Structure 1
Amino acid sequence: MKKWVAAGCLVLASAGAAAATWTLTGDIVSHDPHLYKAANTWWIVETSDTGVGVKYSANGRAWTQGVPIFGNGLPWWGQYNGNKKQAWAPDLHEWNGKAILYYAVSTFGSQKSAIGLATASSLAQGNWVDQGAILTSAPGDNFNAIDPNFFVDKAGQPWLSYGSFQTGIYITRVDANTLKPFGAKTRLATDSIGIENPFIVANGSYYYLFVSKGKCCDGANSTYRIAYGRSTSVTGPYLDKNGVDMRNGGGTVLDAGGGRFIAPGAESISNGVLARHALDTQNNYTPVLFMSDLFFTNGWPTY
């Protein structure tokens, strides 16, 4: 569930202790950064007070804030977010020759939520057309329709993972033409401390499910951390390094933060790089963008 909304600018973020972490400059205040590299441009879409926030970079290191997508909001959002202009946790990809964007609209702590879809002829054109809500949830449902992640398995079948709190993270098939989910949903992960923001990648023989656990947005009390498990099937079961099923609270911690920057989460991966935000304890717990090269050592991710 997303509460903090990005605003402002920092000059530099560097995690020093990790050689694989990139030094970033420019507009690097970011909440729920979704990283996507297309051709010669790096893109980030992010949670924003005004539509879907957008950043771009020629080298992935110097970032410029762009014009938000649907900056005035859309009429149908109001039934889910109280007529606010904000959208949450967007997910950006290219598919079948066009750009696609999933995003969520809700209010903090609510199950009255929706995942929306927009398409454009290309990322560079940015001529986004909204396709409306493609998945919704209501109080009493066993899932929450936020935090979408589009993923294509090794057989070419697209999927959408999603979820937050309640009974955790789910995955559903996506129609290759309409880009809408269909069929049964399969539960991938849950945790009593809170779990959200699924992101799936493939490497070698495995699929890897990354999640954010804990509280994302509570200042010094924030407990967000990035965890993962792996499976030979996109629908799981995903087991951590100790063999614990992520449906039973498993998940090996990749990054728990510490020092100046705490509560890392809202992870995304593109072109071998993992992006996330972490809260700056010296700047009113503002969320800041971090990016690191992601490696797989003995079949497990690290940076």
Structure 2
Amino acid sequence: MFLPLKRLARLIAGCALAAALVPAQAAPWTLTGAIGTHDPHIYKTSSTWWLFETTDNGGIGVKYSSNGTAWTQGGPIFSGGLAWWKTYLPTDKTAMVWAPGCGEYNGLGYCYYAISSFGSQKSAIGLTTSAGGIAAGQWVDQGAILTSKSGDGYNAIDPAFVLAANGDPYLVFGSFWNGIHITRVSKVNLKPPTGGIVNIARDTVNGIENGFVVKKAINGTTWYYLFASKGACCKGANSTYRIVVGRSTSITGPYSDKASVAMMSGGGTVLASSGSRFKGPGGQSLLADGSVMAWHAYDAQNNGAPVLFIGNVTWGADGWPQAVW
């Protein structure tokens, strides 16, 4: 059947408008170089992209890139480990570091990092700082700034720094034991005061960790978005990690997902889950403006090796981030 030209033109225009109104799912970038990673923390300075990552026994892992796609493995921070780490590490490890959260604050480079062992609540979050910023590489360890032990209401791992809308700095942290927490830290030394810890997400069925908060203004309202990983990591192709998100108008919550389910009650809108080849996406981090996300997933066609993924985050008109793959 042939349509009159005017009617055909209106139909084409209508289809184009409908397509424009449907948020596109962003595809991950094509990456090259050193793309094996676990728990990548992405950060961008004026001329360099940085990734800080979990290492099995080599200090705080560092990668860098001039364009965000071609990655070079850099020298680790504290490659041989520090004496105080031994209190929290297995006897066969001297420099195992988990999920560092690094960046710059008022010209000071900082790296929060976790020292622990799998399945243990005996954990510590350390802090190291670099005068002159990340690139200066003048890292001086500030010791353990938050610790946990069996029976505490939280597990001191997976640290991530975030600034509130009023400029106050906070630290997000926690894993499995009562989930994810947040606390204010000092503007002077970036360490938390005693107390003031708030529980912001739990999932007693699946477990939840790797909390990461970004703030974003939507239609005149400042929202805080809590991204997290649910499920089991570190099992190669058998990993069940998935990336979820919820939001709140307050940095300390309460956070709820897109279906209004509280994140303290197991809520979380799924942004990425296992595909046919790459399994267990998680360990996510974002640029502070929420425009780019980095995460890892396990390659089922390569013995479950953890692989780096980076992609743009598409935000819908409803103020929610869209699926990242």
Partner of 2:202: 190
Which amino acid in structure 2 is aligned with residue 197 of structure 1? N
Q: Distance in 2 between matches of 1:295 and 1:234?
A: 22
Q: Match for residue 268 of structure 1?
A: 285
Q: Distance in 1 between matches of 2:152 and 2:79?
A: 30
Provide the rounded CA distance (Å) in 2 between the counterparts of 1:258 and 1:217.
16
Deviation at 1:168, TM superposition (A): 0.6
CA RMSD of aligned residues (A): 1.2
* Number of matched pairs: 287
Q: Which residue in the other structure is 1:65 paired with?
A: 73
Deviation at 1:42, TM superposition (A): 0.1
Pairwise CA distance, 1:19:
4.6
One of 33, 38, 62 as aligned partner of 1:31: 38
Q: Equivalent residue of 1:258, what SS?
A: coil
Give every structure 1 segment of 4 or more consecutive aligned residues whose post-TM-superposition deviation is greater than 3 Å: 17-20
Offset from partner CA, 1:56-104 (integer Å, 9 cap, x none): 0000000000000000000000000135211110001101111010000
Q: Which has the higher strand share?
A: 1
The one-letter amino acid paired with 1:151 is V
Aligned partners of 1:163 and 1:258: how far apart in 2?
Answer: 27
Match of 1:249 in 2: 266
What are the superposed Cα offsets for residues 177-214 of structure 1, whole Å, 9 maximum, x if unpaired? 01111231111000021110000001112100000000
Which residues of 2 match residues 1-303 of structure 1 at below 5 A?
19-48=26-55, 49-82=57-90, 83-121=93-131, 122-182=133-193, 183-192=195-204, 193-204=206-217, 205-270=222-287, 272-297=291-316, 298-302=318-322, 303=324
- Structure 1 range deviating more: 244-253 or 19-28: 19-28
Q: Which has the higher helix share?
A: 2
What secondary structure, in the 3-state scheme, does the structure 2 residue paired with 1:244 have? coil
Unaligned runs of 5+ in 1: 1-16
Structure-2-length-normalised TM-score: 0.86
| CA deviations over 1:223-257 (Å, ceiling 9, x no partner) | 00000100000000101011000000000000002
Alpha-carbon distance in structure 2 between the residues aligned to 1:173 and 1:127:
25
Q: Which amino acid aligns with 1:243?
A: S
Aligned partner of residue 210 in structure 2, secondary structure: strand
Q: Distance in 1 between matches of 2:247 and 2:33?
A: 35
C-alpha distance after superposition, 1:148-184 (max 9, x if no partner): 0110000000001100001111000101101111231
Unaligned runs of at least 5 residues, structure 2: 1-23
CA contact (8 A) 2:26 2:313 kept: no
Secondary structure of the corresponding residue to residue 100 of structure 1: strand
